[in-house]
């Protein structure tokens, strides 16, 4: 049996799902406040000075702190029903191919459990992702186990699965936040091209970084 690890945003989908979920599930006044408070982080991220995970941490604090977990989970269920429109056909085809071969298929994402869990359950795949912390049914605005990006992706995969028990490990990603995830795989794919093929020609700085790590 093989293991297939899929990043979600930008890999399975052709668009970001995190920010649209904030707007989908949060009142406009709160979104406007959050936009004002987080604007320095957003500008810093666009200038490559602030990692994306810091923006996400700030966003979930502003959007979800103090809200009922059940309410946000319901918004997540509704949002999950809209995701088919942003799923890449080739990604769905590859995911189904792995399932048909009997592989264990896992979405490994920095995006959020309220909508990824119902989507993954509908697709019949397993999930490792950023999860919202709840205390007494009220969201704290924090992550339950940290932002699931970078090394955290790889660590959480290793915690759940014994990689040596799989004949082959496949991993699919599209950004530097997926570098460590791709490094786990016998067959790492960056932007849907297997790295051994990408390495044969001029590539972006991001892909080159992943290639260097995998060697």
Give the pTM: 0.87
What are the residue ranges spanned by the domains of the chain? 3-214
* Fold of the CATH domain 3-214: Rossmann fold (3.40.50)
Whole-number mean pLDDT of the chain? 88
Q: Does the pLDDT of residue 41 top 80, yes or no?
A: no
Percent of the chain whose pLDDT exceeds 90 = 73
Q: Sheet containing 187-190: give its strands across.
A: 126-130, 104-112, 3-6, 169-173, 187-190, 193-194
Q: What is the pLDDT of residues 154-191, one digit of tens each?
A: 999 999 999 999 999 999 999 989 999 999 999 999 99
DSSP for 134-166, please give it. Answer: EETTEEEEEESS----THHHHHHHHHH--GGGS
Stretch among 43-52, 65-74, 198-207 having the lowest mean pLDDT:
198-207
> How far, CA to CA in Å, does 147 sit from each of 53, 54, 117, 175?
7, 9, 16, 15
pLDDT of residue 215: 45
Banded pLDDT at 141 (limits 50, 70, 90) = very high
Q: Does the pLDDT of residue 213 top 60, yes or no?
A: no
Q: What is the pLDDT of residues 67-107, one digit of tens each?
A: 999 999 999 999 999 999 999 999 999 999 999 999 999 99
> How far, CA to CA in Å, does 116 sit from each of 54, 72, 79?
20, 13, 9
DSSP state, 19?
H
């Amino acid at each position: 049996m093989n293991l297939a690890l899929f990043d979600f945003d930008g890999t399975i989908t052709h668009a970001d799902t995190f920010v649209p979920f904030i707007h989908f599930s949060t009142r406009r006044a709160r979104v406007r406040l959050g936009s004002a408070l987080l604007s320095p982080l957003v500008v810093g991220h666009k200038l490559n000075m602030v990692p994306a995970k810091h923006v996400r941490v700030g966003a979930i604090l502003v959007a979800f702190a103090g809200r009922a977990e059940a309410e946000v989970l319901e918004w997540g269920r509704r949002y999950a029903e809209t995701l088919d429109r942003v799923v890449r056909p080739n990604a769905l085809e590859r995911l189904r191919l792995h399932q048909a071969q009997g592989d264990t298929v896992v979405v490994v994402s920095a995006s959020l459990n309220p909508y990824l869990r119902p989507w993954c359950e509908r697709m019949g795949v397993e999930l490792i992702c950023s999860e919202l912390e709840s205390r007494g049914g009220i969201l704290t605005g924090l992550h339950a186990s940290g932002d699931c990006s970078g090394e955290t992706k790889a660590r959480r995969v290793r915690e759940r699965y014994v990689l040596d028990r799989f004949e082959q490990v496949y991993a699919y990603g599209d950004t530097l936040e997926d570098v460590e995830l791709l490094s786990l795989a016998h067959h790492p794919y960056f932007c849907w091209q297997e790295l051994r093929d990408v390495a044969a020609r001029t590539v972006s700085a991001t892909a080159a970084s992943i290639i260097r790590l995998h060697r």
